[in-house]
Amino acid sequence: MKPRNAIWRVFRKEFRENLRDRRSLITALIVGPVLMPALFAALLSIGIHHGRTQSTRPVHLAVAHAGRAPHLLSFLHQYGVRTVDVETNRTGARLLVERLHRPLIYVSRGFGVRLAAGRPASLRLYANESNRSEQGALERVDRLVEAYGGEIARLRLVARGLNPLLLTPIALHPVDISTPQSRSVLVLGGLGYVILLTMMMGGLYLAIDATAGERERGSLEPLLTLPVEREQLVYGKTLAAGAMMLVSLALTVSGFDVMLQHVGLARLGMSVDLGPAGVVAIVLECAPLIPLGAALMTLVASFTRSYREAQTYVSLIVFIPTMPLMFASILGLRSSLPLMAVPFLSQQFLIMSVLRAEPLPASYTLVSVGVTLVSAAALIWLAGRLYRRERLLG
């Protein structure tokens, strides 16, 4: 029998058997392609919804001793702040904030007098800053009170015959040059990470089952008495794990494509239009990682003592390649030619470039594909070599 035939036959059997393993199927076909995009969609929708309502929703504010600062109140009302008058002292104010879930302004005694005298008039602003929904209201009240103070300061200058522009030595005009795509990437920064992770998860159970599982069941020894070189057994098993990873990868990227179309990113002025071409591009750019990941998992699972041990180690292995991604995001690394020689990281850059619609130079892609494939070949060769050892039988 030709070596190629043996590899193909091992592959076919492992793949078919894996399709009957419910746990493996759920991981490869449901968790990655369906659950992950759904989770992302939920998080994004909440973010979008939250961001939108916070800026348009009227701010509710409790005010104690409103009568001491009538002008301030009418100023706040002008800008859409709804106030309720409350009767309380300073200690009671804390409890009220807790109960009403809204910030509270306590107007001090002598507020009007101090204001008229040109001395700082004091207000106390009570709020629970650990409550996210109060934070937005708090920021707006803060800005409005600041603006009110600014108005008064300008009026004072005018009253003393000075130019109110003296108070504005610098005029800073921020100009946002981000495109809708690049803004989306901020939100979708984790997407590349999730795609690579679910791709690895797709082959996880097959890799373990075909190696550690085979030994634990006692089917490895009879298998080794067949007239097939041991390397070919490993190649077939690695190929099968890779096939599951490819299926998982393609479905996951498609799942995210569908998700992105349905989440209203456009309402935030963002757009990620992946489309069929984008899906294909991401799958192709990640594809070289498949033999690398499959070989890595097969290699590690082959040399553990039991199925359980294999599960522990391979689950860790799944996360190790994502380490460069975390470092890169912490250090804020940008893509560069040398960094494209780091497998997993380079694929993350490639995914981001598709999402941003900012193509990277062809040399970048070449380095990424080249280095990844060479490392994969080395690992597969190593797995084949190690399969020759007697210790394999455990």
306 near another protein, judged by CB under 8 A: no
222 near another protein, judged by CB under 8 A: yes
State the Cα–Cα distance between residues 287 and 342, nearest whole angstrom: 15
Q: How far is the CB of 222 from another protein (least distance, A)?
A: 5
Q: What angle do CA 60, 61, 62 make, to 5 degrees?
A: 135
State the Cα–Cα distance between residues 195 and 185, nearest whole angstrom: 14
Q: How far is the CB of 295 from another protein (least distance, A)?
A: 22
Interface mask (CB under 8 A) for another protein, residues 15-34, using x and -? -xxx-xx-------------
Q: How far is the CB of 208 from another protein (least distance, A)?
A: 14
Name the residue nearer to another protein (CB basis): 211 or 375. 211
Task: Tell which one of 62, 228, 283, 289 touches another protein (CB under 8 A).
Answer: 228
Task: Count Cβ neighbours within 10 Å for each residue of 198-215 and write b for 16 or more, e otherwise.
Answer: bbbbbbbbbbbbbbbbbb
Q: How far is the CB of 217 from another protein (least distance, A)?
A: 4
Q: How far is the CB of 224 from another protein (least distance, A)?
A: 5
Name the residue nearer to another protein (CB basis): 15 or 111. 15
Q: How far is the CB of 213 from another protein (least distance, A)?
A: 9
Name the residue nearer to another protein (CB basis): 11 or 303. 11
217 near another protein, judged by CB under 8 A: yes
161 near another protein, judged by CB under 8 A: no
State the Cα–Cα distance between residues 19 and 14, nearest whole angstrom: 9
225 near another protein, judged by CB under 8 A: yes
Q: How far is the CB of 311 from another protein (least distance, A)?
A: 17
Q: How far is the CB of 246 from another protein (least distance, A)?
A: 21
Which positions ≥6 away from 172 have C-beta within 8 Å? Answer: none
Half-sphere exposure of 319 (CA within 13 A, CB side): 6
Half-sphere exposure of 359 (CA within 13 A, CB side): 5
State the Cα–Cα distance between residues 120 and 139, nearest whole angstrom: 21
Q: Which stretch binds another protein (CB under 8 A): 5-13, 35-43, 56-64, 144-152?
A: 5-13
Q: Which stretch binds another protein (CB under 8 A): 1-9, 53-61, 159-167, 341-349?
A: 1-9
391 near another protein, judged by CB under 8 A: no
Name the residue nearer to another protein (CB basis): 171 or 393. 393
Q: What angle do CA 29, 263, 246 make, to 5 degrees?
A: 25
Residues 93-122 that bind another protein (CB under 8 A): none
DSSP code per residue over 168-193:
------------HHHHHHHHTTTHHH
- Count of residues making up the chain: 394
5 near another protein, judged by CB under 8 A: yes
13 near another protein, judged by CB under 8 A: yes
Q: Which stretch binds another protein (CB under 8 A): 14-22, 50-58, 282-290, 342-350?
A: 14-22
State the Cα–Cα distance between residues 302 and 323, nearest whole angstrom: 23
DSSP code per residue over 319-372:
HGGGHHHHHHHHHT----TGGGGSTTHHHHHHHHHHHHT-PPPHHHHHHHHHHH
312 near another protein, judged by CB under 8 A: no
| Pair of tokens at residue 86 | 């409350």
1 near another protein, judged by CB under 8 A: yes
**Residue 82, number of CB atoms within 10 A of its CB:** 11
Q: How far is the CB of 28 from another protein (least distance, A)?
A: 15
Task: Tell which one of 227, 276, 332, 338 touches another protein (CB under 8 A).
Answer: 227
Burial label, 75 (beta-carbon count in 10 A; 0-12, 13-18, 19+): middle
How many residues in the shown chain lie near another protein by CB under 8 A?
A: 25
358 near another protein, judged by CB under 8 A: no
Radius of gyration in angstroms for the set of CA atoms belonging to the chain, rounded to a whole number: 31
Contacts with another protein by CB under 8 A lie at 1, 5-6, 9-10, 13, 16-18, 20-21, 217-219, 221-229, 390, 393
